[in-house]
Amino acid sequence: MTPDLLLAAATTTADPSSPELTWAQQNPELMLIFLVGFIFLLYYTLISAPQRRQQQERQKMLTTLHRGDRIVTIGGIHGKVVKTDDEAKIVTVQVAKGVEIDFSHAAISSVTRASEAKEGE
């Protein structure tokens, strides 16, 4: 093909009612809507839903905290729950005999229930 023929082929616009065009070429707005919908669905299934599920499990863990449960804080401190204050969201933890520290709920990383700890011993 000569350069003139290539230029002519590239600059000609096809008729939208032409049967050679696909639906995506005929309706670019519709293709954009499908693409945005697909990206939203992908975001929801891969990021949003698992994160929400993990947050609900963590909230349940913190609301069911009881005296005697063993905890680990995000700082790595291990201790035993002595007292909980759900309104102030504070947990008093015994880290050694006679040593009690107050932590906020947000500082708790993991919980081992008192019943689970007795079974493991």
Same domain, 44 and 72: no
pLDDT at 99 over 90: yes
Domain containing residue 72: CATH number: 2.30.30
pLDDT at 11 over 70: no
Same domain, 89 and 109: yes
pTM for this structure?
0.58
Whether 7 maps to a domain, the answer reads no
Rg of the Cα trace of the chain? 30
Total of domains in the chain: 2
- C-alpha pair distances (Å), 25 with each of 11, 12, 13, 14: 16, 15, 12, 10
- pLDDT of amino acid 114: 73
The DSSP secondary-structure symbol of 55 reads H
Whether 72 maps to a domain, the answer reads yes
Whether 17 maps to a domain, the answer reads no
Q: HSE-up of 96 (CA within 13 Å, CB side)?
A: 1
**pLDDT confidence of 26, banded at 50, 70, 90?**
confident
pLDDT at 76 over 70: yes
Closest CA to 67 of 107, 116, 113: 113
Q: Which residues pair with 91 in a beta bridge?
A: 84, 103
Whether 6 maps to a domain, the answer reads no
**pLDDT confidence of 73, banded at 50, 70, 90?**
very high
Q: Which domain covers residue 112, as residue numbers?
A: 66-120
- C-alpha pair distances (Å), 7 with each of 14, 20, 21, 63: 14, 20, 20, 70
Whether 116 maps to a domain, the answer reads yes
Boundary residue ending a domain (35, 60, 85): 60
